[in-house]
Amino acid sequence: MSAMKNSVFSQKIYSFLLAAYRWYLQTPERSLDEAYNAALKIQEIENKHFNGNKIDIDLAMYSNSVMDYFESDLKKLLKTVRMRLTEFRASHWFLNEENQKAAQKVGIEYLSPSLVLEKLNLVDQIISKYTTISDQITSKALVVQPQNLPVNSVISEDKSLLVNTPTLPPKIATQNLERKPEIKRKSDTMGVLPRSLLSTITRLQVELDPNSEQEVIQNFRQTQRRTIISIRFILLLIIVPLLTHQIAKAFVVGPIIERVRSSEQMQIFLNSEMEEEALLELQTFEEKLKFENLIIKAPPLSSEQIENEMGNKAIELAKEFRHESSNAIKNIFADMFSVGAFICLLLVSKSSIAVLKDFIDNIVYGLSDSAKAFIIILFTDIFVGFHSPHGWEVLLEGVSRHWGLPANRDFIFLFIATFPVILDTIFKYWIFRFLNRISPSAVATYRNMNE
């Protein structure tokens, strides 16, 4: 009986390993098919909604919501294509002649080399429309051989796969990749006429241009889309960590901590400050009982009654501080989940970060000089001003209480003595290094208001 069970178990292990090995052997073909299908979906959107042209988000063909929908689909499909092509190249690199023979033994048939090259060429044609020059330089490995090679002249690590391959289809030409940047001399920027006069003439030409209205509308749409993306991303940066904290605390960390700390013998206080607070509250309750017993015309409470009241209050305080201690431990782990969600959101939203940076720059540098000076003075007075140590002290004590840590007065005073000074130095360097160059009038206004 045991021998039969062992044989059944061995057969299951063998079938599992065989399935895993078949999956490994089919990785190149599977990755190429997924990239090819994603590229076909992009081509279908182009043909159906953009008349066979590139999916250009800046075109005013549809409403903002429709263009956002196309943009999200395009990003997902391009990401799928690039990831699957990377997987195809990596798996094809490790696929040798022995693997192909093994694949033939288990009944796996690979695509013909001509079909592989045809799919690669189609994928390259489609994604080249959405690839910048720098990306094109790094992705030249999509079609690895020069065009118009004769039969039997393709060299590859996997020689058995590309034997007697037909002529490769023509590769998509990358435009202006080797164009050297033009170096402008200072004399080239000097004109015969003053720049202000030339800028006035240029402005008049723009205003008289019949297509200027369309350009204004297009610029407005771009600004509107940038504002919507920025506000949405700011809300995500606030809402996602908060929701992650509450959900993790209620459904993940909370039940585990409550199960561990469910015992009545578990430590009630996490630090000495909690214990001192509980003793002070119990002492205040005792004095309150004695005071009420003196001023109210009623029979005085006996010592046993006072002890009973004190015991009930002690039990109530123990439950309260046990819950507070558990809540502090939950906050530590829930904050870890929140930080992880915040970092993941930043990693997957690089394009939104660039849009947000542009949005903030336009707002900040679009303010008047007095508004810039007002914001600078407000910021410095709050964080590095004369009254800022009290705010930092309250903030650090709140963080310590949030995590159940004792408020170390020495650390708080040392932090207040060093961090605002460092922050003030960095801020002054920013004013001197950047703001003084970009907006010297704002710096002058700031100095006059600060004096």
153 in a structural domain: no
Which tokens hold the place of 204?
A: 């008049």
66 in a structural domain: yes
233 and 348 share one domain: yes
340 and 403 share one domain: no
Q: Looking at residue 2, what is its pLDDT?
A: 55
Handedness of CA 85, 89, 90, 95 (dihedral sign): positive
162 in a structural domain: no
184 in a structural domain: no
352 vs 219: CA distance, rounded Å: 18
One-letter amino acid identity for 135?
A: D
233 and 321 share one domain: yes
What angle (nearest 5°) sits at the alpha carbon of residue 214, between those of residues 208 and 218?
130
Q: Looking at residue 95, what is its pLDDT?
A: 64
297 vs 89: CA distance, rounded Å: 92
193 in a structural domain: no
Cβ pair 451, 377 in contact under 8 A: no
Burial class of residue 48, CB neighbours in 10 A (0-12, 13-18, 19+): exposed
Q: What is the pLDDT along the chain (451 residues), one digit of tens a residue?
A: 555 655 666 676 767 676 776 777 777 888 888 888 888 888 888 888 887 788 876 665 677 777 777 888 888 888 888 888 888 887 777 665 555 666 666 566 666 778 888 888 888 888 888 875 434 434 444 444 433 433 333 333 343 333 343 444 444 444 443 444 444 444 444 555 555 666 677 767 666 667 777 777 888 888 888 899 999 999 999 999 999 999 999 998 888 888 877 655 567 777 778 888 889 998 898 888 888 777 775 567 777 888 888 888 888 888 888 888 888 889 999 999 999 999 999 998 888 898 899 898 888 878 888 888 888 888 888 888 877 888 899 899 889 888 888 888 888 899 988 998 899 899 888 888 888 888 888 888 888 887 7
| Integer CA distances (angstroms), 94 to 27, 88, 102, 351, in order | 11, 10, 14, 34
387 and 337 share one domain: no
The per-residue pLDDT for range 171-187, each reduced to its tens digit, is 444 444 344 444 444 44
343 and 264 share one domain: yes
Domain boundary among 359, 391, 410: 359
Q: Tell me, rounded to whole angstroms, the distance of Cα 356 from its chain centroid.
A: 12
Residue with tokens 């391009």: 78
Q: What is the pTM of this model?
A: 0.53
25 and 131 share one domain: yes
Domain boundary among 324, 359, 394: 359
235 and 353 share one domain: yes
Cβ pair 355, 233 in contact under 8 A: yes
Please tell me the total count of domains within the chain.
3
229 and 290 share one domain: yes
241 in a structural domain: yes
430 in a structural domain: yes
Burial class of residue 188, CB neighbours in 10 A (0-12, 13-18, 19+): exposed
Residue 118, domain extent: 2-142
372 and 275 share one domain: no
One-letter amino acid identity for 284?
A: T
